Chain A
């Protein structure tokens, strides 16, 4: 068979998890990262990133809504997926996904966004008519109480939800890492580092995405960029990146030094079949270059140049993190569990798990986000944000 080198167990030649499963950790990672950036302002009171607070929340929601779709499309029997809620198998790492997902979506994201926007929803409900009025009425859950007292309660509850939300975001993505990290049959995946590496790469990708979205939004709205905000985000991106890189290097050093039975096979794979995606895209283009850009940006005076550097760093970061997900998911299936051979991933276009669907799934969150932004504008307007009008 084409693309086979050495010996694979006969059932191993076809890859089980393709591009859709690459998208799954990529998209959930963006959610977790965007949320953690939002929490910086809310819980840790980093005022500088305030202009991105709502945008980060909406971005997280948009990607969260799309996150289960690649999984659903990949299943052999999507119509049975609900069984995971009805009869979860308690020993299965994967069985918890639905619950972790629902918890994060319904108990954290939706509640926090609703509390943040409640005042504007009520105002829009009272001021609009027709269908729009009905929509905002539903969103307001029928309550029009926006007295200072009730807004203060909103704020307090919102803060609490964010505090619960941070470990939840950690759980969400750490858990995705655990799904891979707990497969003892696969030495490429099986490491306790996997959840924490996934988590920090998630933070990196989410922060980079919100940074880019913020720039796109300011450009679209033709408003000046708040450089203090942008510099602060870039700084946090750099910190997260340094931790992420350290963790990955630790994993690498450990593997090289321990050199267990799988090492030669995996090493050969990284130097051949994964060279482009692992060494070139993930390590150099997607990690070292953006880190260098973020470091140098700190000594560049011109705001214009810094912005260009941030855009480059953000885009390359997303490329790098996507490559990282690819290398984990696809790379973990390119070698035989006999350690005697290698196979090839053949990406198709117009199939259910093909490139076309994957591209659509990558565009979809932005469409959802556009809708959300229209429904719940993330920037302060004439009516003012909830906390802008809180009596002091």
Chain B
């Protein structure tokens, strides 16, 4: 059959008509795909974080770095990571006094309380292996990557806030600009390039450590073997991958 102009236009037209939805559909298919960084094999990693409570001095640099690196709103009540200060009267451990002024962004005012046990607890998304937030998302906009990081697709999230309710740790908020759920990404844009998370990078005392549980040479294995670590709210059975060393039982 001769390939005339009419046939050519018809073919091209069909192709164009088909390509647009196919491209749009493909966007949906790859939305949330983890494997974007060149040379990075998501399935070869399983990220975890260690927080050493005894090392934290409450300087708040992790909070500042996180907000700067990830463009988190500087308004109060939006935090991907924050620091809490616990002050526990040894005679009344059930009722700790806790504060976190502006999430610890500016550090902490000096405490004048005498005879209390005082320490700092940095908090961030626990990257739970069984995340209630992932479970409840009605459209699957929140998902777990093959390397164990819980992320939110801001182009897909409805902003229904069910995940914020479902997180037992208060790690999620609604981004005031995108009106979608937001949280710690474990600096996914950095760790997939072989970099540290911003909070780990700036911590002056090494209170935070990012480890890869799938890498047998990662010192995290040695640390977990030789320290008594805890996760937050283990009774929630969310299987967090943020491990705390030296955590007091009063911490919630």
Contacts and interface: CB of A to CB of B under 8 A. Distances in A.
Interface in B30-50: none
Interface stretch (A28-36, A50-58, A77-85, A313-321): A77-85
A184 interface: yes
**What DSSP secondary structure best describes chain B's contact surface?**
loop
Given A11-B170, A89-B137, 5 more contacts: A8-B170, A14-B173, A76-B161, A76-B179, A332-B165
A179 B162 CA distance: 9
Contacts of A186: 165
Contacts of B68: none
B170 A75 contact: no
A92 B137 contact: yes
- Chain B, interface size category, equals 35 or more
Contact of B96 (A1, A92, A340): A340
Contacts of A16: 161, 164-165, 174
Contacts of B138: 84, 88-89, 92, 94-95, 97
A336 B158 contact: no
B159 A76 contact: yes
Contacts of B136: 91-94, 183
A272 interface: no
Interface stretch (B12-20, B98-106, B187-195): B98-106
Nearest to A83: B139
B77 interface: yes
A94 B160 contact: yes
Interface string A177-198: 0010001111000000000000
A12 B170 contact: yes
A278 to B, nearest CB: 20
B120 interface: no
Given A17-B165, A336-B170, A80 B236 contact: no
Contact of A75 (B98, B123, B158, B171): B158
Contacts of B108: none
A235 interface: no
B76 A84 contact: no
Interface string B84-128: 100000000000111110110000000000000000000100000
Given A10-B103, A11-B172, A186-B165, A83 B156 contact: yes
